[in-house]
Homo-oligomer: A and B are copies of this chain.
Amino acid sequence: MPVAGNYKFMKSIKRIAILGVGFMGGSLALAIKKNFSGIFIVGYARSKSTYKRLSKLNIVDKVEKDLGKAVCGSDIVVLAAPIYSIIDYFKKITPFLKQGAIVIDLGSTKELIENKAHKYLPKNTYFVGCHPLCGSDKSGAQFSTPKLYKGAICLVSPAKNKTALRKVNSLWMRLGCKVILVNAKTHDKILSSISHLVHVISFSLTGFVPKAYLKFAATSLRDLTRVSNSPAAVWADILISNKKNVTRDTEKFIKGLEKFKELIKKDKKEEILKLIKNINKKQKTISALH
């Protein structure tokens, strides 16, 4: 369900730490700077090279090499990393989280992350799972833009602590997101169907097409293979962490493909016409969305 925002909840937020300042994390920093005043943003850099690169980019107020120093005193800690790195962060940040700190993540699957958050994070801190649906065929902090989240849907897991939930919702809404509350289990089921399976298909199609034929590629192949440029480190984690839904959806999708193939094999023109006409109608619903 969509929720309403109330920006007074954000008044207590003075310091935000972003762990993983890539395209998503970097854009979040820029969007917060643009939409709020008085919030100090610290970006954590795991390696020397990242530290150097981030220091030049002027995306966060301070680049911090020490994880403890980055997390310490932060009102919100944002984990913007591949799924299993987010889970690793839960263990690592625990000693540094202040009482009442809110931890959010931007991961593309939610159930495993939520379970691990509840397992590892201290009791006097609050976890709120977030997933802003804004495509990232780009990766790298250098592409960061404060507009990334504007107009995007942000799926938020309904956390038990209502104050923490309200603060997080208000943050996203101030950045221009439409916040929809969806529990972690349902989130993963939906995302498997509308995104994770879609990536598996795109990866497989790019893998399938013979190299020698690529030079003839027209619009349709380019459309369907575009997201197969998505980063391996991010997607291996997404697919494995949501494997129950993704494997089930892949099997279902294969069954549909096999049915279609049989209709073609048996020259069932009338049935193919009917099928495609129904699909055409459904496609109109998708293209009318944006």
Q: Report A's interface with B, CB cutoff 8 A.
A: 133-135, 137, 153, 155, 180, 190-191, 193-195, 197-211, 213-233, 235-237, 239-240, 243, 246-247, 249-254, 256-258, 260-261, 264-265, 267, 269, 272-273, 275-280, 282-287, 289-290
> Is the beta-carbon distance between A253 and B204 smaller than 8 angstroms?
yes
Residues of B within 8 A of A222 (CB): 286-287, 289-290
Interface residue from B201, B257, B276 paired with A232 (Cβ < 8 Å): B276
When C-beta atoms are compared, the residue in chain B nearest to A251 turns out to be: B261
> Is the beta-carbon distance between B265 and A207 smaller than 8 angstroms?
no
> Is the beta-carbon distance between B229 and A280 smaller than 8 angstroms?
yes
Given contacts A222-B287, A240-B269, 9 further A-B contacts (CB under 8 A): A134-B218, A135-B218, A203-B275, A203-B276, A222-B289, A229-B284, A232-B280, A236-B273, A243-B264
Closest 3 CB pairs of A and B: A135-B219, A232-B276, A236-B272
> Is the beta-carbon distance between B225 and A283 smaller than 8 angstroms?
yes
> Is the beta-carbon distance between A257 and B218 smaller than 8 angstroms?
no
Known contacts A228-B279, A236-B269; is-contact A190 B216 (Cβ 8 Å) = yes
Residues of B within 8 A of A135 (CB): 218-220
- Determine how many copies of this chain the complex contains: 2
Residues of B within 8 A of A272 (CB): 232, 235-236, 239-240
> Is the beta-carbon distance between A216 and B236 smaller than 8 angstroms?
no
Residues of B within 8 A of A133 (CB): 216, 218
> Is the beta-carbon distance between B211 and A282 smaller than 8 angstroms?
yes
